A and B are shown apart, each in its own frame.
Chain A
């Protein structure tokens, strides 16, 4: 009898361990998370507009139908990213997510305080490598440190009324997201910059 109770207690304790490990492992092994869902339909280091939220669009749950949305899926291994998003009439926001969909930073048009939200996204190592004087001249540009080298930037523009949707989409279509290169090779990034 005591042996049976011991077996059950051991099983429950082990179960607690299994639970902890599986909760911590789930974000790593999930294949249906937002990043994986968006990988096939977005370009790397470029802005891709998402289809509007409607009942037939099951891309992601709980998308806000009042917003036009665009994604820049980034990889910082080639260098820091320069992001420029023109502000729409109503409300524009830029949110940053890591590869495992953790929202580590978000900013809206009012806190950016300009007609264009301009940001530099880099890894902490790239930020540390930045020359001192360049850091000063870049002071009017916001520098965001990404905890991971890959992730998602979500650009959103509010259409306060359904009729405003084309304008919201147009302002996101004018947004750019590209690898920052100071040397001539920047020209090769042309196609991404034209969007």
Chain B
């Protein structure tokens, strides 16, 4: 009887630990091959044939098609530079320069990866349409109410994700340091 009970206990622990760990890693992701620059993270290897099993599992779960390495690389940010989660009710400023790339796009998504509805139908900026200052740097302001300059509406949602995608870029698997890829800063400018 005690043997059956302890076997059962071992099996229950095995299930909880095993399935729990899989669920955690496939929803939250792992740090394998992650390139972290400021608040931005990228996994250039997910766009190649030698993608790690954890990324494969998370791609299969989310239904995402990762951007191929010959196409570009995607940087994702969920917090500002001070690790504060991006809040759609606050003013958040993304400013600076981007790494070398023929084109880039900056897009705002909710935490499920869907675009956020707004009356302007503006979901992001491309490198061609953004207004820059004389030195080539730019400033994009994420806010729920309209702002002057490059305004990206947040729809007032509580949490969101920013995706900076570089197309036709030397940034990729070989990139290690912020010197190779100067990413724009993210700062929360003020909350109502």
Contacts and interface: CB of A to CB of B under 8 A. Distances in A.
B179 interface: no
Contacts of B61: 26, 30, 32-33
Contacts of B53: 23-24
A161 B71 contact: no
Contacts of A33: 59-61, 63
B83 interface: no
B11 A14 contact: yes
A60 B117 contact: no
Contacts of B113: 60-62
A156 interface: yes
Among A15, A34, A97, A111, chain B packs the most CB atoms within 10 A around the CB of A15
B124 A65 contact: yes
Nearest to A7: B6
Given A26-B60, A27-B57, A55-B114, A160 B126 contact: yes
Determine the main DSSP class of B at the interface with A. mixed
B47 A103 contact: yes
B107 to A, nearest CB: 6
A107 B67 CA distance: 11
Interface stretch (A72-80, A88-96, A171-179, A186-194): A88-96
Contacts, number: 209
Contacts of A19: 17-19, 21-22
Interface string B135-175: 00000000000000000000000000001010110000000
Interface in B165-190: 165, 167-168
A161 B13 contact: no
- The bracket for how many chain B residues form the interface is 35 or more
Contacts of B74: 62
A68 interface: no
Contacts of A56: 117
Given A91-B102, A106-B47, A4 B6 contact: yes
Given A160-B129, A161-B126, A161-B129, A106 B6 contact: no
Contacts of A152: 65
Interface residues of A, number: 65
A7 B9 contact: yes
Contacts of A108: 70-71, 167-168
A170 interface: no
B65 A15 contact: no
Given A30-B60, A33-B59, A160 B103 contact: yes
A9 B109 CA distance: 42
A149 B138 CA distance: 45
Contacts of A23: 22, 25-26, 53-54, 57
Interface in B65-96: 65-72, 74
A32 B124 CA distance: 26
B116 interface: yes
Contacts of A18: 14-15, 17-19, 22
B115 interface: yes
Interface in A52-73: 53-58, 60-66
Closest 6 CB pairs between A and B? A18-B18, A61-B113, A106-B68, A15-B17, A11-B13, A14-B14
Interface of B: 2, 6-7, 9-19, 21-22, 25-26, 46-49, 51, 53-54, 56-57, 59-72, 74, 102-103, 105, 107, 109, 112-117, 121, 123-124, 126-129, 163, 165, 167-168
Given A6-B6, A104-B48, 9 more contacts: A7-B6, A11-B10, A16-B17, A33-B60, A55-B116, A65-B123, A65-B124, A108-B168, A161-B128
